[in-house]
């Protein structure tokens, strides 16, 4: 579930993000921060279902990373992708999609954090 790419911790989430599974994702995020890892990528490309508790975990992760001057990036396939676009649709429907830095794949998401300031969100362009 966890990988490291340079300065980034990558957490791969798959299946469902719901009331049962969301606490584990939250704990992994907190563990990374406790270890001093403040640049985090959540790979949600294999998440097939996300309910309000999953969205709550994403918002809490964003808040936590901002509080420690960290970075949070999400990997979500484009809206038209046959697989893995559920989270993208849920975040957009709730009006919170704009809160997150979203990337289409691991390579784009783990580029140097210094480039983030000038980057354009590839999914909103």
- CA dist., res. 100 & res. 84, Å (int): 17
CA–CA gap between residue 53 and residue 62 (Å, rounded): 14
What pLDDT, on the 0 to 100 scale, is given for residue 73? 96
Cα separation, 78 vs 4, in Å, equals: 24
- To the nearest whole number, what is the mean pLDDT of the chain? 85
The reported pLDDT for the residue numbered 103 is 93
| CA nearest to 1, candidates 19, 21, 121, 108 | 21
Confidence bin at 5 (pLDDT 50/70/90): confident
- What is the C-alpha to C-alpha distance for residues 43 and 114, in angstroms, rounded to an integer? 20
Of 59, 61, 85, 56, residue with least CA distance to 71:
61
């Amino acid at each position: 579930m966890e990988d490291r790419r340079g300065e980034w911790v990558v957490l791969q989430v798959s299946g469902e993000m719901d009331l049962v599974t969301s606490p584990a994702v939250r704990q992994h995020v907190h563990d990374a921060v406790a270890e001093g890892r403040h640049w985090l990528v959540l790979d949600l490309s294999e998440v097939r279902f996300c309910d309000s508790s999953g969205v709550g975990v994403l918002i809490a992760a964003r808040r936590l990373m901002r509080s420690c001057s960290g970075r949070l990036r999400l990997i979500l396939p484009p809206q038209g992708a046959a697989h893995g676009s559920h989270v993208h649709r849920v975040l957009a429907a709730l009006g919170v999609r704009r809160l997150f830095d979203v990337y289409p794949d691991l390579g784009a998401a783990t580029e140097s954090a210094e480039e983030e300031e000038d980057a354009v969100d590839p999914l909103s362009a």
